[in-house]
Amino acid sequence: MIAFRKLYEQLHNSYGPQHWWPADDRFEVMLGAILVQRTTWPNVEAAIALLRQQDLLVAERLAQSSLEVLEQCVRGTGFYRAKARRIQLLAGFVAESGGVSALAELPTSDLREQLLAQEGVGPETADAILLYMFDRPVVVIDTYLRRFSARLLGREVPPSDRVLNALVSEEIHETADLNEFHALVVAHGKSTCGARPQCGSCVVRVACASAA
């Protein structure tokens, strides 16, 4: 009934505050959201550091820099040709939209639609940007949450993303809580416990028992 609220509380008790999103400014959040796809955060940090070294953490400059330089900066994050192209296109989008502050004026639904129209920005990346860059109260659904949602809900088949979004939205409303919730889900997923489908004593099972 209140499965995800219980999960949130258990995760928070186990792992504590996560202090997401690690970034110096809002544009950097956007770049990280693309660069972190299917890789680990340390790789992203290294790439961001290289971009900063080239003074490219500004939308206008990033949009006009050479693609070859970008590829060298982000190489360590994997899929580097696609990612270099995508952060450059994204920088152009931000610049032509009037900057981050102008985008921040848009309603969440419009902003989400525009983000999804960008190459390399799918549902998860768009929602992560909405939550961590623009402080909008949205649910970020990642592979970790999908992985144990069926067990948490006591169902055989895992719920669709649409259903999952509705269920979490009912139980967690505040931007600050949605922020922390997703960070904690990832923190747990990265732990040795979260990586296994069947874990006897992890917080997901504890939350499951508490919610029943």
Give the nearer residue to DNA in terms of CB position, either 60 or 155.
155
Give dist(CA 165, CA 169) in Å, integer.
6
What distance, in Å, lies between the first and last C-alpha atoms of the chain?
Answer: 7
Contacts of 62 (CB under 8 A, 6+ apart): 51, 56, 70, 87, 88, 91
Give dist(CA 173, CA 153) in Å, integer.
19
* Residue numbers 9-38 binding DNA by CB under 7 A: 20-22, 32-33, 36-38
Q: Residue from 79, 97, 199, 210 that binds DNA (CB under 7 A)?
A: 79
Q: Residue from 31, 63, 94, 128 that binds DNA (CB under 7 A)?
A: 128
Q: Give yes or no for residue 81 binding DNA (CB under 7 A).
A: yes
Q: How far is the CB of 171 from DNA (least distance, A)?
A: 21
Q: How far is the CB of 158 from DNA (least distance, A)?
A: 11
- Judged by CB under 7 A, the stretch of 70-78, 105-113, 148-156, 168-176 that binds DNA is 70-78
User: How many residues at the interface with DNA, by CB under 7 A?
Assistant: 40
**Long-range contacts from 166-169, C-beta under 8 angstroms, 24+ separation:** 167/3, 167/4, 168/4, 168/139, 168/141, 169/139
Q: How far is the CB of 211 from DNA (least distance, A)?
A: 24
- Judged by CB under 7 A, the stretch of 48-56, 57-65, 98-106, 123-131 that binds DNA is 123-131
Q: Give yes or no for residue 155 binding DNA (CB under 7 A).
A: no
Q: Residue from 190, 196, 209, 212 that binds DNA (CB under 7 A)?
A: 190
* Structure tokens that stand for 154 in this block: 């006591």
Q: Residue from 24, 60, 96, 119 that binds DNA (CB under 7 A)?
A: 119
Q: How far is the CB of 77 from DNA (least distance, A)?
A: 7
Binding site for DNA (CB under 7 A): 20-22, 32-33, 36-43, 75-76, 78-83, 118-126, 128, 132, 142-144, 160, 186, 189-190, 195
